[in-house]
Amino acid sequence: MATGVKEGQQYVVDGAIFKCQYGSALCQIRAISNKKVTAQNKPIVTDKDVTFKIPTAPFVTCSQSKQVPPTCVYANGIWKTKTTVQHGDQNAIVEKSEMKCPVFGGKISCIFPGQVQSVSAPELAEFKIETLSNFPLALVVTSPAKNQEEKEKRLPVFFPFLHLNIKSVLMR
């Protein structure tokens, strides 16, 4: 039985982007423990997945390290899952789940779960568009709400690495 997964929350899939509160760079996670359960044709990350695409120093530097240079010394983090959706003995990871670095205790969190939403040009024209300063090639889109209740139900849609001229879409 699926519990702990809130409406609008996505499963984390292979290639999702994570950050460490003490690190200086972002890194993608690898889903290697599960090859059967997928979302958008990508394996879902489980609590057994603790490896990043850059296995040594995935977050490049660590502000808590006393080394010179202060290299990230990540070693298989420990998940604090926000769901009990299981596949065998593994819990699925959702975008609100967090991992703790066992070396310096940094909180490692998901900033992009790896799933992509799509909207048509007419739908996009109705949305408010914002750019994110830490993601220059990304945008957050939120649809207009008629009242407070509707506003609370609507979640922003995050489009990382979006390659389109947004003005040309809106001018059509």
Number of domains present in the structure of the chain: 2
- In this prediction, residues 123-138 reach a mean pLDDT of 57
Same domain assignment for residues 14 and 53: yes
The CA distance from 144 to 127, in Å, is: 6
Task: Determine the pLDDT at residue 108.
Answer: 96
Range of the domain at 147: 121-170
Give bridge partners of residue 92 from the DSSP assignment: 46
Same domain assignment for residues 38 and 69: yes
Same domain assignment for residues 29 and 107: yes
The CA distance from 93 to 62, in Å, is: 24
Cα–Cα distances (Å) from 107 to 95, 159, 170, in that order, read 14, 24, 39
Tokens 């006393």 map to which residue?
Answer: 66
Task: Determine the pLDDT at residue 122.
Answer: 74
Same domain assignment for residues 96 and 154: no
Same domain assignment for residues 130 and 59: no
- In this prediction, residues 56-67 reach a mean pLDDT of 94
Task: Determine the pLDDT at residue 25.
Answer: 94
Task: Determine the pLDDT at residue 171.
Answer: 42
Task: Determine the pLDDT at residue 164.
Answer: 42
Tokens 């109705």 map to which residue?
Answer: 126
pLDDT tens for residues 67-103? 999 999 998 999 987 676 777 788 999 999 999 999 9
Same domain assignment for residues 101 and 148: no
Same domain assignment for residues 47 and 99: yes
Task: Determine the pLDDT at residue 6.
Answer: 62
- Between 129 and 48, name the one with better pLDDT: 48
Written as six digits, the tokens of 97 are 């789940």
- Choose one of 94, 115, 136: the last residue of a domain: 115
Map residue 143 onto helix, strand or coil.
Answer: coil
Helices (H) and strands (E) in the chain, counts: 3, 12
HSE of 68, CA atoms in CB hemisphere, 13 A: 0
Map residue 166 onto helix, strand or coil.
Answer: helix
- What phi and psi, each to the nearest 5 degrees, are found at residue 73? -120, 40
* Range name among 109-113, 116-120, 155-159 with the lowest pLDDT average: 155-159
Same domain assignment for residues 13 and 53: yes
Does residue 16 register a pLDDT over 50?
yes
The CA distance from 13 to 15, in Å, is: 6
Give residue 165's pLDDT band: very low, low, confident or very high (50, 70, 90): very low
Give residue 7's pLDDT band: very low, low, confident or very high (50, 70, 90): low
Does residue 163 register a pLDDT over 60?
no
For residue 74, the Cα-to-chain-centroid distance in whole angstroms is 19
Task: Confirm whether 21 is domain-assigned.
Answer: yes
- What phi and psi, each to the nearest 5 degrees, are found at residue 39? -135, 130
Same domain assignment for residues 90 and 163: no
Same domain assignment for residues 86 and 155: no
Q: pTM for the whole thing?
A: 0.68
| Average pLDDT in the chain | 77
Q: What is the CATH number of the domain that holds 65?
A: 2.60.200
Same domain assignment for residues 13 and 92: yes
